[in-house]
């Protein structure tokens, strides 16, 4: 069986040049040193030293093992030092968010959380919700904040926490959609519907709802939320968007919220995380995300731009 003592003894013999000097450094008998080297050769199946020479000289196989031996002892040293390191260097959490979180409350949360919890390093990924969920399933992310994905709630070992329900609304350039309000959903069929693509969770929720209302799915897509708003602002069509967030950062761009019958459904955003050995840390983080989540306020818009409602 391969042991750390064998590896350490091997390094000492190489560095000091003889079994005798190695035994003195290790405070062991020369026979003990020889025994450890023999056991190391048996465990690895390698001949490490050329024993036809007086001094210990490495074989080619010994040279190859030496490099790995140094890496092994360095890793062991780091493991043993963990207990002496400050708490702040120990916790790394890989976490994913969608663009809507990044445009609203996430920057403020990161600023505050980094100050309050220097012992935790958050590695952030911003992407479409379906991509984030796939990375979550593959173990590349430990926690994701995404719209509800039905299959996630049936997956064993996955914990969920609702952070906020986001009010959605049809939006269009002012004057594009005429007629009395509220507008029957069927009356919107003649307008081009623009949406985020298939990797967007809230776009999929909206498309399912539109299908139940007898409407066809969007015929134009833009994965980037700001680009989508830009297309709507340019009068290229209508879209179902996060109502208050878009109102606040695009109110001077001539966008109109359409009062429809029925109104689009609320979209729930959830924190998903794996249960397991880090459950306490992830639960605490999910609770902090719950306290911070506010999908209505763009982080880059000043207070004077906010519309109360």
At 256, which CATH number? Answer: 3.40.190.10
- Tell me the per-residue pLDDT of 135-149, one tens digit each, with 9 for 90 and over: 998 889 999 999 987
Q: Which of 22-26, 78-82, 219-223 has the lowest mean pLDDT?
A: 78-82
Is residue 72 domain-shared with residue 25, that is, in the same domain? yes
Phi, psi of 225 (to 5 degrees): -65, -40
211/125: higher pLDDT = 125
Q: What's 52's domain CATH number? A: 1.10.10.10
In this predicted structure, what is the pLDDT of residue 118?
86
pLDDT over threshold 50, residue 305 = no
Does residue 232 fall inside a structural domain?
Answer: yes
Q: pTM score, two decimals?
A: 0.67
Other C-beta atoms lying within 10 Å of the C-beta of residue 124: 13
Q: Which of 38, 68, 84 is the last residue of a domain?
A: 84
Q: Point out the domain boundary residue: 19, 49, 84.
A: 84
Tell me the range of 6-15, 149-158, 295-304 where mean pLDDT is highest.
6-15
Residue range of the domain that includes 31: 4-84
Query: Residues of the chain with pLDDT > 70: what percent?
Result: 90
Per-residue pLDDT, 301: 67
- Whether 65 is covered by a domain: the verdict is yes
Q: What is the mean predicted confidence (pLDDT) over 81-87?
A: 60
Same domain, 99 and 223: no
The answer as to whether 52 is a domain residue is yes
Residue 309 domain-assigned (yes or no): no
Q: In the predicted model, is pLDDT for residue 98 greater than 90?
A: yes
Q: How confident is the model at residue 218 (pLDDT cuts 50, 70, 90)?
A: low
Q: Could you tell me how far CA 45 lies from the centroid of its own chain?
A: 42
Mean pLDDT of 71-94: 72
Clarify whether residues 214 and 280 are in a common domain: no
Same domain, residue pair 14 and 67? yes
Looking up tokens 């879209």 gives 239
Same domain, yes or no: 250 and 274:
no
Chain mean position to CA 223: 19
Residue 294 has pLDDT above 80, yes or no: yes
Q: Is residue 308 part of a domain?
A: no
Instruction: Answer yes or no: do 161 and 173 share one domain.
Output: no
Residues 62 and 202 in one domain: no
Residues 137 and 281 in one domain: yes
In 3D, which of 168, 32, 1 has the Cα closest to residue 13? 32
Rounded to the nearest integer, the mean pLDDT of the chain is: 85
Total domains in the chain come to 3
Task: Write down which residue in 35, 64, 84 finishes a domain.
Answer: 84
Q: Which segment, 1-10, 94-103, 294-303, is predicted with the most confidence on average?
A: 94-103
Same domain for 175 and 246: yes
Asked if the structure places residue 307 within a domain, the reply is: no
Residues 175 and 43 in one domain: no
Same domain (yes/no): 77, 97: no
| 159 and 272 both lie in a single domain | yes
Question: How far apart are the C-alpha atoms of 104 and 289, rounded to whole Å?
Answer: 13
In this structure, the dihedral spanned by the alpha carbons of residues 180, 184, 190 and 195, taken in order and rounded to 10 degrees, is 110
């Amino acid at each position: 069986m391969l042991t750390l003592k064998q590896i350490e003894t091997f390094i000492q013999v190489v560095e000091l040049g003889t079994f005798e000097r190695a035994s003195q450094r290790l405070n062991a008998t020369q026979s003990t040193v020889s025994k450890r080297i023999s056991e190391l050769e048996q465990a690895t199946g390698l001949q490490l030293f050329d024993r036809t020479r007086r001094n210990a000289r490495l074989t080619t196989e010994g040279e190859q093992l030496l490099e790995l031996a140094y890496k092994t002892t360095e890793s062991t040293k780091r493991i043993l030092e963990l207990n002496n390191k400050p708490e702040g260097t120990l916790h790394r959490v890989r976490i994913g968010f969608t663009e809507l979180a990044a445009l609203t409350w996430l920057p403020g949360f990161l600023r505050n959380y980094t100050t309050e919890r220097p012992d935790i390093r958050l590695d952030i990924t911003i992407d479409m919700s379906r991509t984030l969920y796939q990375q979550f399933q593959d173990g590349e992310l430990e926690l994701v904040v995404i719209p509800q994905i039905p299959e996630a709630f049936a997956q064993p070992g996955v914990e969920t926490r609702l952070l906020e329900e986001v009010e959605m609304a049809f939006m269009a350039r002012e004057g594009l959609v005429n007629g009395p309000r509220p507008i029957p959903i069927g009356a919107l069929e003649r307008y081009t519907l623009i949406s985020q693509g298939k990797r967007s969770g809230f776009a999929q929720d909206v498309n399912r709802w539109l299908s139940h209302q007898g409407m066809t799915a969007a015929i134009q897509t833009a994965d980037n939320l700001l680009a989508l708003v830009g297309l709507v602002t340019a009068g290229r069509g209508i879209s179902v968007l996060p109502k208050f967030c878009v109102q606040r950062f695009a109110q001077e761009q001539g966008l109109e919220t359409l009062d429809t019958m029925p109104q689009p459904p609320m979209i729930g955003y959830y924190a998903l995380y794996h249960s397991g050995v880090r459950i306490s840390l992830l639960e605490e983080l999910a609770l902090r995300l719950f306290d911070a989540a506010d999908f209505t306020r763009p982080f880059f818009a000043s207070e004077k731009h906010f519309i109360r409602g």
